[in-house]
Structure 1
Amino acid sequence: MVTRPTPADKQVTALVRDATAAPSMHNAQPWFFRYFRRSRTFEIHADQARAMPHSDPQNRGLHIGCGAALLNLEVAAVHEDLRPDTALLPDPTDPALVATVRLTHAAADRSGLGALYPAIHRRHTSRYPFGEREIPDAVREELRAAADAEGAILTFPTAWHLQEVLELAREAEARNATDRGADEDLVRWTRTDAASAATADDGVPHYAFGPRRRGGKAPVRDFAGSRRVPGREAADFEHHPQLALVSTAHNRPEDWLRAGRAVERVLLLATLRGLAGSFATQPLEWSDLRWPLRDPVAGTGYAQTLLRLGYGPQGPGAPRRPVSDVLDVQP
């Protein structure tokens, strides 16, 4: 019998480094990986210490972040000629165990995941102004297909629905500006001075805030909140923002994970197609604002996240926790 080699610890470390390049709410990076050498299996755990009970009371955003990291892990595995066999929420008694991924022998990549690998470390959240150039229909169709491959639905609000979504985002921003809990989350997960930004390995540093919005309609979260950031400039944002809603048929933790996988697959493909992206999740953090976001044509489903896409700067990379802090290797 031929014994197939197991991934060396160095390769496992590289896979987790790729996985953790995923986006997460406020860059909290709410994940932990455990790798079992004997079975060649990863466990991905949700890190409840990095949850946001006020802004994300159901842990929906936390699961979306873990789903994005899971997708990156699969992309990196396929790139290394490994086949990831994934199970979502495999243990009903342990809800923090969000997925397992067993690495098996190489197989033909019929999923298209391997082609996304070059975008993993190129993709950054961009809170800068985008141009007014429209995303071609062919690219939109590709992005829709990417979400569909992960069991989610991607729609581009237009006309009155787009205006409704923008109004909901503005309403959420206004509420957040006077909401103590939302402000506490910003204080915990943002770094407004050079010293903390230089040493932090999580959260959103001031250099990734982007400029203050002087004009335009783009729903960009101001991570500075009420705090002043010296030297931060103001800019005009796009007047015709291009938004994309990621929705699922149901609203369970498994759906949140699928939404996270879909979000990252869409963003990786968008990066390869020359697009930049950011999140506009403010209205999703208020239960009464989330429901009106849904697709008015279908009238069903649950909005899970809102993306802003367009042609513009990719944005700077946000810090990442060392792999040694998020990976435990077992025999």
Structure 2
Amino acid sequence: MTAHPLDTNAVTALVAAATAAPSLHNAQPWRFRFLRRSGVLRLYADLERGLPRTDPERRGLHLGCGAALCNLRVAAAAAGHAAVVRLLPDPADAELLAEVELDRAAPGDASLAQLQPAIRRRHCSRLPFRAEEIPAAVTQRLCEAARAEGAQLLFPSAWHVRSVLELVRDAEGREALDPDLRGETARWARTEPSGGAEPADGIPAEAFGPRPRSGAASVRDFAVGRSTHGRGWAAFEENPHLALLGTASDLPADWLRAGQALERVLLRATTDGLVASVTSQPLEWEELRWAVRDPVSAMAQVQMVLRLGYGPAGHPSPRRPVTDVLEVL
């Protein structure tokens, strides 16, 4: 039991920060349970919000929940609370992904605390970026952020970037021919502009970004062939800055670590003035995923492809209220 457990209001604020994390199709597949007597906050997978066609192994679900866990740790550190995390603490309960012991008597992690302002500013940008190089000092900080979470961030060479872009297009073609996959995407991606009572999850039409008129776009087209009112066309960057996020192995604990690393990298990027988008399309097909890996690197398992650069911030996607995802016992 912690010496100074948090009260419910403090935990509610931490969970609100956690739910600002990105997730596949913004399905927000997480639930939290706070045990007041012990000061332990539990993170559960919400399997009803899984994507059985897009993410049958629930790798993406774990990444999203890992990203939420990272946000929670950042917010806790900024509030001056220590957080001790145990991943997959109960082998008999596959839905229990992590336990976080919170204590306001011990100091928080200063390196995480400095990322807290970026939590609300971070949005996936599916807009064109400027043709501007990212300084080496910035990419080094991004790589260090991934390493701090037990993952690796790699900026592949130009020829491998082209290979990854071809795999993205291959995955798009496969999705276009799969009615079940298109239907699952359509469930979470709304083509009509927001108005009135907006849903608290999914991708709003305003966040789709324009269709690429030219350039090498690696962003996912959530319209999937459907018409979208007012959606225009734009020229994307010819040579996008892609990065591969990966881990040494490919088990659920690795997916949770990769999710924490992904969010820490995105928060670091936001802090340094970058914008980003992510794509998992070629990673969702077993026969394509192996080819995403850079053969000259030591990265064993690619977990996410990131596009980084300088440009306009993306449109925010909605979030479920904390009351829907937090249970206090």
Q: TM-score, normalised by structure 1?
A: 0.96
The 1:304–1:56 alpha-carbon spacing in structure 2 relative to 1, beyond 3 Å, is same
TM-aligned CA deviation for residue 39 of structure 1: 0.6
Where does residue 132 of structure 1 map in the other structure?
131
Deviations along 1:52-80, whole A, 9 cap, x unmatched?
11110100000000000000000011111
Note the 1:1-331 alignment, pairs <5 A: 4-110=3-109, 112-194=111-193, 198-298=197-297, 300-330=299-329
Answer whether contact 2:127 2:210 (CA < 8 A) is retained: yes
Number of residue pairs matched by the alignment: 328
Moved more, 210-219 or 108-117: 108-117
Q: In the alignment, residue 259 of structure 2 is paired with which amino acid? A: G
In 1, distance between residues paired with 2:144 and 2:74?
Answer: 17
In 1, distance between residues paired with 2:110 and 2:248?
Answer: 22
Q: In the alignment, residue 95 of structure 1 is paired with which amino acid? A: A
In 2, distance between residues paired with 1:226 and 1:186?
Answer: 11
Answer whether contact 1:197 1:206 (CA < 8 A) is retained: no
Q: In the alignment, residue 300 of structure 2 is paired with which amino acid? A: G
In 1, distance between residues paired with 2:76 and 2:292?
Answer: 35
Deviations along 1:264-307, whole A, 9 cap, x unmatched?
00000000000001112110111111001112113551000111
TM-aligned CA deviation for residue 194 of structure 1: 3.1
Q: TM-score, normalised by structure 2?
A: 0.97
In 2, distance between residues paired with 1:155 and 1:89?
Answer: 27
In 2, distance between residues paired with 1:169 and 1:117?
Answer: 32
TM-aligned CA deviation for residue 25 of structure 1: 0.3
Deviations along 1:182-229, whole A, 9 cap, x unmatched?
201111101111357852000000011011111110211111111111
In 2, distance between residues paired with 1:34 and 1:55?
Answer: 27
Moved more, 103-112 or 118-127: 103-112
Answer whether contact 2:6 2:104 (CA < 8 A) is retained: no
The 1:111–1:179 alpha-carbon spacing in structure 2 relative to 1, beyond 3 Å, is farther
In 2, distance between residues paired with 1:106 and 1:295?
Answer: 45
In 2, distance between residues paired with 1:15 and 1:125?
Answer: 21
In 2, distance between residues paired with 1:19 and 1:159?
Answer: 35
Unmatched 5+ stretches in structure 1 = none
- RMSD of aligned residue pairs (Cα, Å): 1.4
In 1, distance between residues paired with 2:209 and 2:228?
Answer: 11
Answer whether contact 1:34 1:42 (CA < 8 A) is retained: yes
In 2, distance between residues paired with 1:106 and 1:313?
Answer: 40
Q: Secondary structure at the match of 1:305?
A: strand
In 2, distance between residues paired with 1:198 and 1:275?
Answer: 32
Answer whether contact 2:143 2:153 (CA < 8 A) is retained: yes
Answer whether contact 2:189 2:204 (CA < 8 A) is retained: yes
Deviations along 1:164-197, whole A, 9 cap, x unmatched?
1111111111111121122011111011113578
TM-aligned CA deviation for residue 9 of structure 1: 1.4
In 1, distance between residues paired with 2:136 and 2:12?
Answer: 39
In 2, distance between residues paired with 1:310 and 1:5?
Answer: 42
In 1, distance between residues paired with 2:63 and 2:43?
Answer: 13
In 2, distance between residues paired with 1:328 and 1:137?
Answer: 44
